């Protein structure tokens, strides 16, 4: 390759990397794997150095994304660098060799940590108060997202230690796997495009303009480094982690100190097997020289420190034949293309289907039936097609094209401005009817025990119900002929349907399945408008005055109740005796006002739901995760990791009996 050819290749590589950065950071829709990205960057760096083609604006000279215009920009006092990546043990040994050459006879150890797959952030505390939260940005400057950072329950607003007057903390914001799946399910039900993986959902959430919306995202945080002005030759990465924990900041428990690179490699091998058991994603191991005093000696490049490196695990991928593309109709009419795969083993499970998300995504990756495709698990849970192995194979069919009609009912498909998904607007489309009834009967909605997917399918197929309102006209003799439906089970189902009439208004409102109206929004609407009649007559302006309601939700609510079919269904539900008025608060006292509880384990005399109700009845509130903001952990038998975390943060742990005494004013 001569210099002219090298210039052409460098331009190609830079263009690919810039597009990948935009897709990763701005659009949260990556189109190449981390390993492919690193290999592309390595090739670019090699060509630039070999032919003297380095420029200040090259991707090889920058860290991460550029700061945006949507937030104020802040200058980092110390550059927030990214880490060099390696994918094999030889590179780790080479890193160890370079460290030893630079440090000579100086004794040192390695700190070994998990590498979290999320979004890097910087926190600043002054006199123990949080004053700034920022993104890493380009390493030199980042976005001021302080108000969004404050919504993360793991982030203490005030520290609990006697540390220095100014504390600069680096951390990684992330989402746990199950929380990510629930978020994507909610987004799909609400008509939004699902996120590609937990990392992108976290990064995208932190850049939202409304902190109230950020607070509804299940973002968590691990602190992993401290930047201190004072010089201390005894300071280590291990001692900084201890200081972070003592201040009430969340740190990962999986932290080890090693004397040799061989010990490090043993830990790498261990976690390559164990990483699937973690509740969050880790894509590798970070290895740091443990002693802070050697950081300056070891130095840095323009992008990365020479005293640390990350070992990246290979992604769980597999190649298989994609036999066909089918279309799935969602509860709200969204059409999702699905890859029907030749069964393949991936991360311990057999994968037969994978979401293709939407038509645009299929065209971008040029996926066609009969292709051999690479499948990966996003968040190690959701299978997705990453790329095509054989795009140049002879005899490929024409590119995929979304049909003009719904595959289930034949109605014309439509695509609204600003959306990527096609929709079927026929409310009586069978899959939509089925999914709406399943949602209506679900645990968080009307909680109709015994009305699972199989029973709903039979009821719809038999023509016994067309909408969820029809459930309340069913009789035992109607459902007895259904498969596996004996007299007792039929009676139990009818009783469960009858009991659901007593569900509170907020749950009925959630059960209606209004687009963008989840549990929290339904609760806010019920509290604000009190009755269904008042809510139905509210215009968008009145709705938008409600906490948590923006223009999109307000428009959706008005459109739902403006639809004559929906009005008729609601009238049928009224006649069936459902609750369409919010009950007045029956709060017994304010004894727990301002107190936040987390529940764990099995309580002696109450279920968790009953305990939550008791706490709320006396003015308290409950959350799902322990943080420095938690006032009490209510623990029963078989308490798990929440108990350990509460103890590490100094959160008081109480029993059910002590909760009673707390309510009665006998303990503090």
Order of all β-strands in the sheet with 621-623: 621-623, 596-600, 632-635, 653-654
- The DSSP H or E segment spanning 92 is helix 89-103
Give me the DSSP letters along 354-386: EE---HHHHHHHT--TT-EEEEEEETTTEEEEE
Q: How far apart are CA 431 and CA 427, in angstroms?
A: 10
Contacts of 97 (CB under 8 A, 6+ apart): none
Q: Mark whether 595 is an active-site residue.
A: no
How buried is 149 (Cβ within 10 angstroms: 0-12 exposed, 13-18 middle, 19+ buried)? buried
CB atoms under 10 Å from CB of 393, counted, come to 12
Catalytic-role residue among 115, 240, 377, 645: 115
Q: Which of 136, 62, 117, 138 is nearest to 286 (CA)?
A: 117
- The DSSP H or E segment spanning 349 is strand 349-355
Q: Which of 454, 460, 463 is nearest to 483 (CA)?
A: 454
Q: How far apart are CA 373 and CA 141, in angstroms?
A: 39
- Assess contact for 235 and 180: CB atoms under 8 A: no
- Assess contact for 34 and 20: CB atoms under 8 A: no
Count of CA atoms in the C-beta half-sphere (13 A) of 328:
17
Measured between alpha carbons, how far apart are the two ends of the chain, in Å? 76
Count of CA atoms in the C-beta half-sphere (13 A) of 404:
0
Q: How far apart are CA 628 and CA 248, in angstroms?
A: 6
CA dihedral 191, 197, 203, 204 (to 10 degrees): -10
Q: Do strands 413-414 and 596-600 pair parallel, antiparallel, or not at all (unpaired)?
A: unpaired
Q: How far apart are CA 308 and CA 292, in angstroms?
A: 11
User: Tokens 């007299």 — which residue?
Assistant: 487
CB atoms under 10 Å from CB of 180, counted, come to 28
Q: How far apart are CA 21 and CA 203, in angstroms?
A: 13
Q: How far apart are CA 220 and CA 177, in angstroms?
A: 11
- The DSSP H or E segment spanning 312 is strand 308-312
Q: Do strands 85-86 and 110-116 pair parallel, antiparallel, or not at all (unpaired)?
A: unpaired
Count of CA atoms in the C-beta half-sphere (13 A) of 22:
5
Three-state SS for 150? coil
- Angle subtended at Cα 353 by Cα 351 and Cα 358, rounded to the nearest 5 degrees: 140
Give me the DSSP letters along 400-460: P---SB-TTT-PBEE--TT--S-EE--TT-HHHHHHHHHHHHSTTTT--TT--HHHHHHHH
Three-state SS sequence of 105-126: CCCCCEEEEEEECCEEEEEEEE
Q: How far apart are CA 293 and CA 134, in angstroms?
A: 26
CB atoms under 10 Å from CB of 589, counted, come to 12
- Catalytic center residues: 115
């Amino acid at each position: 390759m001569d210099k002219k050819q090298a210039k052409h290749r460098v331009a190609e590589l830079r263009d690919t990397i810039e597009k990948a950065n935009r897709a990763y950071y701005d659009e949260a829709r990556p189109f190449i794997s981390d390993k492919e990205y690193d290999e592309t960057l390595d090739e670019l760096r090699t060509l630039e150095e070999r032919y003297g083609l380095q420029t200040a604006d090259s991707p090889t000279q920058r860290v991460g994304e550029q700061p945006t215009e949507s937030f104020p920009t802040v200058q980092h006092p110390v550059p927030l660098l990214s880490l060099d990546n390696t994918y094999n043990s030889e590179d780790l040994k080479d890193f160890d060799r370079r460290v030893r050459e630079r440090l000579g006879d100086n004794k040192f150890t390695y700190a070994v940590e998990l590498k979290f797959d999320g979004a890097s952030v910087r926190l600043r505390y002054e006199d123990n108060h949080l004053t700034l939260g920022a993104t890493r940005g380009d390493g030199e400057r980042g976005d001021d997202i302080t108000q969004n950072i404050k919504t993360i329950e793991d982030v203490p607003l005030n520290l609990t230690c006697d540390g220095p007057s100014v504390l600069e903390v680096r951390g990684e914001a992330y989402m746990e796997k199950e929380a990510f799946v629930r978020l994507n399910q909610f987004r799909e039900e609400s008509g939004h495009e699902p996120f590609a993986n937990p990392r992108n959902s976290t990064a995208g959430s932190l850049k939202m303009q409304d902190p109230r919306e950020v607070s509804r995202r299940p973002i968590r945080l691990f602190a992993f480094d401290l930047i201190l002005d004072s010089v201390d030759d005894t300071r280590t990465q291990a001692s900084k982690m201890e200081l972070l924990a003592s201040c009430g900041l969340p740190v990962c428990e999986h932290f080890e100190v090693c004397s040799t690179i061989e010990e490090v490699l043993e830990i790498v091998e261990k976690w390559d097997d164990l990483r699937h058991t973690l509740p969050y994603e880790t894509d590798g191991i970070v290895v740091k020289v443990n002693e802070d005093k050697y950081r300056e000696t070891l130095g840095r490049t323009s992008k990365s420190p020479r005293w640390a490196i990350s070992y990246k695990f290979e992604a769980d991928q597999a190649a298989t034949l994609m036999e066909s593309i089918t279309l799935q109709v969602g509860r709200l009419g969204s059409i999702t293309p699905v890859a029907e795969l030749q069964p393949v083993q991936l991360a311990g499970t057999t994968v037969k289907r994978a979401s293709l998300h939407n038509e645009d995504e299929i065209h971008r990756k040029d996926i066609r039936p009969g292709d051999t495709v690479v499948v990966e698990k996003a968040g190690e849970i959701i299978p997705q097609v990453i790329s095509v192995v054989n795009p140049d194979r002879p005899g490929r069919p024409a590119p995929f094209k979304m049909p003009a009609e719904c595959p289930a009912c034949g109605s014309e498909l439509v695509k609204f401005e600003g959306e990527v998904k096609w929709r079927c607007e026929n409310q009586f489309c069978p899959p939509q009817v089925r999914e709406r009834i399943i949602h209506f009967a679900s645990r968080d909605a009307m909680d109709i025990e015994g009305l699972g997917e199989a029973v709903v399918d039979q009821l719809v197929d038999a023509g016994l119900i067309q909408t969820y309102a029809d459930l309340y006209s069913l009789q035992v003799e109607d459902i007895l002929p259904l498969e596996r439906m004996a007299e007792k089970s039929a009676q139990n189902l009818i009783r469960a349907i009858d009991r659901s009439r007593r569900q509170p208004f907020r749950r009925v409102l959630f059960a209606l399945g209004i687009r963008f109206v989840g549990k929290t929004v339904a609760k806010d609407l019920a509290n604000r408008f009190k009755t269904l009649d008042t809510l139905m007559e509210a215009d968008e302006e009145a709705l938008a005055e409600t906490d948590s309601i923006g223009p999109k939700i307000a428009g959706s609510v008005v459109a739902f109740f403006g639809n004559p079919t929906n009005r008729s269904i609601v009238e049928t539900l009224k006649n069936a005796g459902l609750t369409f008025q919010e009950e007045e608060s029956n709060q017994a006292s304010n004894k727990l006002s301002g107190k936040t509880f987390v529940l764990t384990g099995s309580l002696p005399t109450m279920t968790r739901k009953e305990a939550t109700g008791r706490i709320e009845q006396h003015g308290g509130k409950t959350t799902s995760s322990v943080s420095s903001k938690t006032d009490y952990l209510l623990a029963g038998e078989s308490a798990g990791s929440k108990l350990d975390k509460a103890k590490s943060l100094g959160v008081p742990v109480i029993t059910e009996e002590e909760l009673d005494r707390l309510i009665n004013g006998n303990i503090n």
